[in-house]
Amino acid sequence: MLKDRIMLGLVKFAKGPGNVGVREVAKPAVSAPDQALLKIKACGVCATDLHVMDDTFRYWPPVVLGHEFSGEVIETGAEVADFKPGDRVVAEPKTFVCGRCDVCKQGKTNLCVHRRAPGWGVDGGMTDYIAVPERLLHRIPDGVPYDVAALCEPLAITVHEIDERCGVNAADVVVINGAGPIGVLSAFLAKSAGASRVYMTGMARSEPVRFKAALALGVDGIINVEREDPVKRIMELTGGLGADLVVETSGSPAGIRRLAEMARICGRITCIGLCPADEAAISWNTAMYRQLDIHFNFSSSYTAWGKALRLMASTPLDLRNAISHHETIDNWERVFGDIREERAVKAMFIPADEISAYR
């Protein structure tokens, strides 16, 4: 029946600002022997989804939004060997990479310039079903619920960029610059990796929701940059030494300008946040005189996904503190508005037939 081949999805349906809405889309099929068909169980909203809506991020319309999702395997192609129907999974957002360029041959497919990912390059997870190659799948550990599992993509970013590339040493003092979802998960990761103290900077409007989530996930103190000088406060908190590691997640030029001033001599800075424009000033001479190591990062590695999932399964902290919304895609406008106004941490879209479990 035609009805069985149609589903609803949140779609960027044309070029230009806006042009987003709930539309009927074709239910995908297993069209290649290495593919698995997933029933979506939860899909997180990322700032990238808003950038696609605003026409400030590349995309190929019409395209279903969403690249942070979890699901259940429903059907597999003939060559799928390690997964079967009923398996609970998450999937890396690297659907198409060339496999031939220099970075692909190094295994750094996250940096392939030909990459197309769900939510902007191919249809994503803000719908009922998605078909993905087996090589992108990771099994969800027992005891990790689907909504928490859908945090794996942003958490894997923090694992790759803080733990794998920059490193958190035992008893480090860490400053997280920015209180958005990546900032909150970065704080959780830093504390889980052995930091002795984790401080966060943020704006006043983050106080009601995002600051609360950060404190629940391990932050020791929060500095409201509209009420006090963050550099002065960090120096007070560290006895004048500065932080061992500063994690930039805000993408704010004003925040980036003070990164070096918050770091101690021979400290580290790891940069995750993307700026609205392609230039931001830093305290260059301060970074030189302090001999800082500065790491620039993008996306996540294959290994970071396994680490993120194991961390989800083993942490004594409740990662649901990072989830502020459980909604259906019908309420997307309110959810997107709450994200813009920082009244949300991570919002999850849940299928309409399963939303009652979260209410």
Catalytic residues: 48, 51
- CB count within 10 Å of CB 195 equals 24
Closest CA to 221 of 243, 242, 200: 200
Closest CA to 135 of 93, 174, 172: 93
Coil, helix or strand at residue 141: coil
Question: Rounded CA gap, 352 and 158, in Å?
Answer: 30
List the beta bridge partners of residue 8.
24
